[in-house]
Each structure stands twice: as C-alpha cells, then as structure tokens.
Amino acid sequence: MKCYHIVDGGERVLIPGCYGAAEAGTIDCCVCPTYEPFEQFERKRYNEVVKELRERSKVFEAEYKKLLKTNERLSKQLRRKLTKV
C-alpha cells in the first residue's frame, strides 16, 4: 500500500504505508515502491518489443538489399562466362 492523505473533519491526515513517511510524518519522505498498472506495463513492454522488431527489420532489409545486389552481380558474371564459352 502506498502512502496517502485523507481528509478527516476538514484536516488532512497522512496514512503512511512505509517507515519513511511514518517516521518523518510527511509524504515527501515516502519510500513506497511505485507499481504501474498491468495495462500500462503491458503497453510499455509491447512498445519496447515493437521498437526492437522494427530495428531488427531495418537490419534485415539492409542485409536483404545487399544480398540482392550481390546476387545480381554474380548472375551477371555467370551470364558473361556462359556467353563466352
């Protein structure tokens, strides 16, 4: 549970969820871990995976273009050799 304030009789009361806020008496000293909702975690993870896959795709595209050029060059060399014979 994370530290928070409630209003009790018009006065704000700190409900500490950690020793930092409990000892200091202020929410500024809160050391509670922040948990992100599962949906936000999944969205973040999804975006990381998509970014990684796009980067890998760019590398594969560059390699594919390089291989196409190499294939075309070797095909031309082979055609030249076959026509000379």
Q: Is 17 helix (H, G, I), strand (E, B) or coil?
A: coil
Q: Which letter, b or e, does each residue of 23-62 get, where b requires 16 or more Cβ atoms within 10 Å of its Cβ?
A: eeeebeebebeeeeeeeeeeeeeeeeeeeeeeeeeeeeee
Positions of E strands within the chain: 4-8, 11-15
Q: What is the pLDDT of residue 69?
A: 97
pTM above 0.75, yes or no: no
Which positions ≥6 away from 24 have C-beta within 8 Å?
Answer: none
- pLDDT at position 54: 97
Give the start-to-end residue ranges of the domains of the chain: 1-35, 36-85
CA–CA gap between residue 14 and residue 27 (Å, rounded): 7
Query: Is the pLDDT confidence value at 5 over 70?
Result: yes
pLDDT digits (tens, 9 = 90+) for 45-73: 899 999 999 999 999 999 999 999 999 99
